[in-house]
Amino acid sequence: MSELNKTNLKGRDFLSLKDYSPQEIIQLVDLGLELKQLKKNGVSYKPLEGKTLGMIFQKSSTRTRVSFEAGMYQLGGHALFLNANDLQIGRGEPIEDTARVLSRYLDGILIRTYSHEEVEKLAQYADIPIINGLTDEFHPTQVIADLITIKEHKKQLAGLKFAYVGDGNNMTHSLMIGCAKVGMEVRIATPHDYAPKADIVALAKEAAEKNGGKLLLTTDPKEAVSEADIVCTDTWASMGQEAEKEIRQKIFASYQVNQALLNLANKEAIVMHCLPAYRGMEITNDVIEGAQSVVFDEAENRLHAHKAILAAIL
C-alpha cells in the first residue's frame, strides 16, 4: 500500500481539517482512491483485524453510519453502533467519564452529535483516536469524500474553481478549509444573514493564502458559479433547524442550483451535494439526475474516504 506507507497519522484525532496539513489531506484523498481501486479489483486488504470502532450517534445518519460500519468490516475490524439514548451519556454521565471508560474497550470512537465542543472534550479525555462524524460546526469526513470525487473526475485539486451555494453551515466550514488547503479558488454564496462563521472564514483565508488558493464570500450565486469547475450545495435546513424550514425556503429561493445557474459554470463542471437532498428546494431534480451530477459517486466515496481515515489513524 504505497499511500498508506506515506501516512504517519496513527493515533491522531480527526476532528476538523484545520488540524491537518495540506499534505496530510492529500495523502488521505490518495489513500481513499487507492483503497477504492483495490475494492474494485477484488483485493482484500485488512490492516484493522482485531480492532473495534465504537460509533456514538446523537444525530440520525444513513451514509455516515453505513459507510463507517461497512468500512471497518472491509478493513478487517468490527464496528459497534452506540445509540446515545442507550448509553449512560444519554442519562447525564459526564462525557469525560464515558471517554475514559470506552478508551479501555475500543480502538477508536466515531461520534456524530450537535456540539463541536462535546467532541473536543471527548478527544481531550479519551486515550484513543476520536473521529468527528458531524457536528453543528464541522463535517470533515465528508470533505475527504468530496475531494476524492473531485480528483477522480478532474484529475487534480489545486487551481480548480469551487463554488458553494446555500447555507453557511458545517459543510461550508469544512469545505472552505479543505478546499483552500489544497489550493482551490473557493467561492461561497450565501444570504447575508446566513454566512459562515467569521473565525472559520479567517482560518480558510489564511489557508488559501498559504497554499495558492483564493476565497470569495458573496451574496450573489451567479458570481460564485461563474466559470466554476465544481458547483456544490447542501440542504437549506440542517438537522435541528426543522422549525426554520419554511422561512428558510423563502430566504434561500434564489440560491437554488438549477439548470439556469449551472449554465453559468464551466461546461465541464460537476455538481455535488452531500445528501440528503431535497429536490425542488436547494437543487432541482433535472440537475441532480443530469449528466453533470456526480452526487452518487460522491456518496459512494464516503466509504472509501472513511476507510482511508480509519486505516491511517487506528
Nearest one of 142, 181, 132, 117 to 14, comparing CA atoms: 132
279: which strand partners? Answer: 283
**Is residue 13 pLDDT above 80, yes or no?**
yes
Q: Tell whether 198 and 271 lie within a shared domain.
A: yes
Instruction: Note whether 252 and 167 are within 8 A (CB).
Output: yes
pLDDT, greater one: 51 or 242 = 51
Note whether 235 and 276 are within 8 A (CB).
yes
* Rounded average pLDDT over 285-306: 98
The count of structural domains within the chain is 2
pLDDT digits (tens, 9 = 90+) for 178-228: 999 999 999 999 999 999 999 999 999 999 999 999 999 999 999 999 999
Query: Which residues have a Cβ under 8 Å from the Cβ of 89 and sit 6 or more positions away?
Result: 56, 95, 98
Confidence of residue 125 (pLDDT cuts 50, 70, 90): very high
Q: Same domain for 8 and 85?
A: yes
pLDDT in tens, 25-70: 999 999 999 999 999 999 999 999 999 999 999 888 889 999 999 9
Count of CB atoms situated within 10 Å of the CB of 133: 28
Compute how many other C-beta atoms are within 10 angstroms of the C-beta atom of residue 247: 11
Going 68 to 138 to 164 to 192, the CA torsion angle's sign is: positive
More confident residue, 241 or 50: 50
In a shared domain, residues 30 and 179: no
| Active-site residue, selected from the candidate residues 30, 234, 248, 292 | 234
Residue 199 designated active-site: no
In angstroms, the first-to-last Cα distance of the chain is 16
Position 186 scores a pLDDT of 98
- Which pLDDT belongs to residue 261? 98
Q: Is 116 one of the annotated active-site residues of the chain?
A: no
pLDDT of residue 265 exceeding 90 = yes
259 is catalytic: no
Give yes or no: residues 126 and 222 share one domain.
no
The partner residues of 189 in beta bridges, in order of sequence, read 165, 218
Mean pLDDT, to the nearest integer, of 274-289?
97
Q: Which of 241, 230, 234, 200 is nearest to 217 (CA)?
A: 200
pLDDT score for 61? 87
The three-state secondary structure class of 187 is strand
The yes-or-no verdict on residue 5 having pLDDT over 80 is no
Name, in order, each residue with C-beta under 8 angstroms of 15's C-beta and a sequence gap of 6 or more.
116, 119, 120, 123, 130, 131, 132, 138, 140
Task: Indicate if 248 belongs to the active site.
Answer: no
For residue 139, indicate whether it is catalytic. yes
108-129 average pLDDT score = 96
Instruction: Clarify whether residues 185 and 85 are in a common domain.
Output: no
Active-site residue, selected from the candidate residues 12, 229, 274, 306: 274
54 and 80 Cβ atoms separated by less than 8 Å: yes
Selected catalytic residue, list 248, 302, 304, 306: 302
Tell me, rounded to whole angstroms, the distance of Cα 57 from its chain centroid: 16
- pLDDT of residue 1 exceeding 60, the answer is no
Same domain, 131 and 222: no
Q: What confidence category does residue 231 fall into, taking pLDDT thresholds of 50, 70 and 90?
A: very high
Residue 277 · residue 4 · CB < 8 Å: no
Report the CATH number at residue 243.
Answer: 3.40.50.1370
According to the model, what pLDDT value does residue 4 have? Answer: 55
In 84-202, DSSP assigns E strands to 108-112, 130-134, 161-165, 185-189
- Statement to judge: residues 91 and 24 lie in one domain: yes
What residue type is assigned to position 310 of the chain?
A: L
Catalytic residue among 74, 142, 256, 292: 142
pLDDT exceeds cutoff 80 at 6: no
Q: Which domain holds residue 36?
A: 2-138+302-313
> 245 pLDDT band (50/70/90 cuts)?
confident
Give yes or no: residues 126 and 167 share one domain: no
Least confident range from 64-78, 89-103, 255-269, 275-289: namely 89-103
Q: For residues 165-170, give the mean pLDDT.
A: 97
**196 and 126 assigned to the same domain:** no
Q: Are residues 163 and 183 in the same domain?
A: yes
> Is residue 237 predicted with pLDDT exceeding 90?
no
Catalytic one of 12, 63, 112, 306: 112
Judge if 294 and 306 occupy the same domain. no
Say whether both 182 and 129 belong to one domain: no
- Cell numbers linked to 39: 475494492
What interhelical angle do 22-40 and 140-154 show, nearest 10? 70
| Helices 116-125 + 95-102 axis angle, to 10 | 50
For the chain, give the mean pLDDT.
95
Other residues' Cβ atoms within 10 Å of the Cβ of residue 266: 18
Catalytic hit among 12, 116, 139, 173: 139
Q: Whole-model pTM?
A: 0.96
**Residue 80 clears pLDDT 70, i.e. is over it:** yes
Catalytic: 292? no
Q: What is the CA radius of gyration of the chain?
A: 19
